[in-house]
Structure 1
Amino acid sequence: MSQYSLLHAAKKNCGDFLIRDAALALIRHHTNVSDDEVLTVDVVGRNLDQETIDSVAETDVAFLAGGPGYQPEFYPGVYPALDDLLDVVDVVPMGPGWRGIDEETYSFTDESVRVLERIVGQDRVPFLGARDLPTVRILRNYGLPAELTGCPAWYYYDGYPPEAEFSPSQSIDHIIVSTPPQNSNRYLLQYFQLLRTLNELFPGATIVCSFHRGKFKESLEPYVGYPWERATYVRNTASLIYGLINSYARRNGFELYDASGSSEYVQRYYNADLHVGHRVHGHIPALAGGTPSFLIQIDGRGFGVSESLGTSGDVSGRSSIRGPVQEVKSSIEYNIRNNYPDFETVDQNRLQAYEKMTELLQSAL
């Protein structure tokens, strides 16, 4: 019988698999259990059958992995089975985050607040784990105790507590460029501009286009919770946009990498000389491995990780198509010239957040 449950969102996006596997590694480290003693259950956008709920009920505690779970429709939109699970087991959030644009106007539904209050009413949950500082502030605005634990993915590379030091390469020969959201024409044009700029800035470097949700139509699932028509639109738009990226990359000599479906992709980010792009869970493993990484932020997930880790060289991608690319180019050049001052606090910030993650886990066990 499993001793613990891990509630996760891993379906296709490699970032969700990284969060799941990193959370599993944290549980193993703090409990000394084997993988066989942890029941893993995909809960995002899913109602669970009674057999699954009964299996979770037999475990001591259910850990809720990260991801942008603290959405306005936290319950029942993101986690439709959560109220039922709270009837049978303690649920401990391991650092979910918000997903929005404006922190000041961000709000939860009444049902979401009710379920969040149920979670913090459990004896084993001294506070809600949050993956970034905006999430902490949002939760506290509702009178909910919250602390910055970071995302489990912050700690997947270098042991517990994290020990890696930021260690940029002496030369930039291998660059990973994570792709933008697959249903946005605007970010497609920005991505092309980014590839051209990096190719000019680092002539001769290997440039890899990394697809976190897959490269082709058949490997892109509709979004959970979308109406069928909307899901089909997103799928078809993604197929068109990613097809254009595939063609553009091949014409210009860039490599293609399908990172979807597992957490194995992280090793490539650890070993790269530079990561630039739109994916938060490309930014995180690069930094954890000591690789310089410049995130082009598209929403609160990006704003939050940049503020929380202290990577002040990141830029917002929302202002225009070309402007953010020129900003990130200037940021890269500045950091190379000055020995990467924008990354000086990353290791310290990860370590401080890890202390809160440890406190949360130990309270639950």
Structure 2
Amino acid sequence: MKPYYILLHRALVNVGDFLIGARTKELLEAVRPDRTIIVGEAWRPLDLQFDLDVINNAKAIIIAGGPGYVNHMYPDIYPLMSNLEKLEAPLTYLAGGFNSVPAPIEIIYKFRFSDGSRQLLDKMTDQGRKIGTRGFMTKQVLDYNGYPQAVMVGDPAWYHLPSLGQEFVPPKHLRTIVFTPPANKPYFDQAKQILAYIVKEFSNCSSSSEVIVSFHRGIDADFARFAESQNCKVVDVSGNISHLQFYDSCDLHVGYRLHAHLYFLSLRKPSYVIAEDFRALESLNTLASFGFSGWYVDRIHSESGTQQWNAYLAPSLPKILVEQIVNDRRTRFSRFAGLGTTIDSFYHSSMKPFLEQLP
């Protein structure tokens, strides 16, 4: 049998996780044709999926991306094996991300991993082996926790292989607009305002424009009713990567789902993301992509002298966001020029070398 990797994913419902898994497999097959890819499930223990000799004879065990660099990543998020000492194959994380509830940016310097998670990270970085992050904030988190082996490689969803080498071409028309609602209900009122602004703006511009509200984790009945009241089509794309294919024929994405945003950008299409948490904020920071934070932080100094904060929804965001889209449309989305070059550069300087150095 040809040497093989075991690729672990967490694709259950959220179509973004299916996208990460699919793009990771495509990248490995393109860059490492010398390896067969065996796919497993990251949320289940390895020894419940494979014989121990299959596990330990793998050239590497690779965990696909996702916001997995969290305090309790092992054993809660990635159970792997109850005794990591029995795991002999090299283990790495490709393009993992850090996540946090809305907080000041300094949280990346204060975050600490649990003892169990440090045990896993120590295993991954044994003998100087590298681990991948999908953004620079996550790399900083790992650096400050004593893991300088972390390398920023980007999110696998950035890299649509057929689009590498192509530059952004502004759409001639904005006939089909995709809007993705937030995952977190506290953002629903803000999202409804944005959707209403978008429907009004594009219905004024063209009677043929259609706004499609796309749910990545299953339909929320309340938000779907509101979308239908705005004459929007409602679709559920959860559960299968093939459900995203209709995005290929759409012209613009606006919304809260990070991997809808990255899917559009990877195809060199315009997209604007509203960050609900650090996952999308990191993408905005790393890729210099287009969108806004959905919250702002009000700092408070307590009587004890420690700094605390409260997070609030950004009240002016709906109007500001739609005005930005209108202005970009008038300039034929000139701010997106160079998008393809940026993604290509990260691929050739970061992702491809990381995959090439794997065992």
Q: TM-score, normalised by structure 2?
A: 0.85
Query: Residues 40 and 49 of structure 2 are in contact (CA less than 8 Å); yes or no, is this contact kept in structure 1?
Result: no
The correspondence of residues 174-253 of structure 1 with structure 2, limited to 5 A, is: 174-181=176-183, 183-184=184-185, 186-203=186-203, 204=207, 205-215=209-219, 242-253=220-231
User: In structure 2, do the counterparts of structure 1 residues 172 and 121 end up closer, same or farther at CA, with 3 Å as the change threshold?
Assistant: same
Contact 1:187/1:321 (CA < 8 Å) preserved in 2?
no
**Equivalence for 2:16:** 15
Query: Could you tell me how far 1:155 is from its partner in structure 2?
Result: 0.8
Moved more, 60-69 or 139-148: 139-148
Aligned-pair identity (%): 27
Give the strand-richer structure, 1 or 2.
2
Aligned-residue Cα RMSD (Å) equals 2.2
Q: How do 1:53-202 residues align onto structure 2 when only pairs under 5 Å count?
A: 54=52, 55-81=54-80, 84=83, 87-100=87-100, 101=102, 102-122=107-127, 125=129, 127-144=130-147, 145-158=149-162, 162-181=164-183, 183-184=184-185, 186-202=186-202
Summarize deviations over 1:13-70 as a string: whole Å, max 9, x none.
1000011111111111122268xx42211113x3344552523223221111001011
Moved over 6 A (4+): none
Give, in whole Å, the separation in 1 of the partners of 2:162 and 2:339.
14
Report the number of matched residues: 329
Structure 1: unaligned runs, 5 residues or longer: 216-241
Map 1:193-342 to 2 at 5 A.
193-203=193-203, 204=207, 205-215=209-219, 242-311=220-289, 313-319=290-296, 320=313, 322-342=315-335
Alpha-carbon deviation of 1:345?
A: 4.4
Post-superposition Cα deviations, 1:296-321, rounded to whole Å, max 9, x if no partner, equal 0011101111111112x411112436
Name the larger-Rg structure: 2
Aligned counterparts, 1:32-47, within 5 A: 32=33, 37-44=36-43, 46-47=44-45
Query: How far apart, CA to CA, are the structure 2 residues paired with 1:38 and 1:268?
Result: 27
SS at match of 2:71: coil
C-alpha displacement of 1:156: 2.7
Letter aligned with residue 72 of structure 1: N
CA contact (8 A) 1:208 1:256 kept: yes
Question: Structure 1-normalised TM-score?
Answer: 0.84
Structure 1 residue 201 displacement after superposition: 1.1
Check conservation: 2:56, 2:89, Cα contact below 8 A. yes
**Preserved CA contact (<8 Å) 1:128 1:146:** yes
Q: For residues 12 and 156 of structure 1, what CA distance do their matches in structure 2 show?
A: 22
Gap regions ≥5 residues in structure 2: 297-312
Asked if residue 343 in structure 1 is aligned to residue 336 in structure 2, the reply is yes
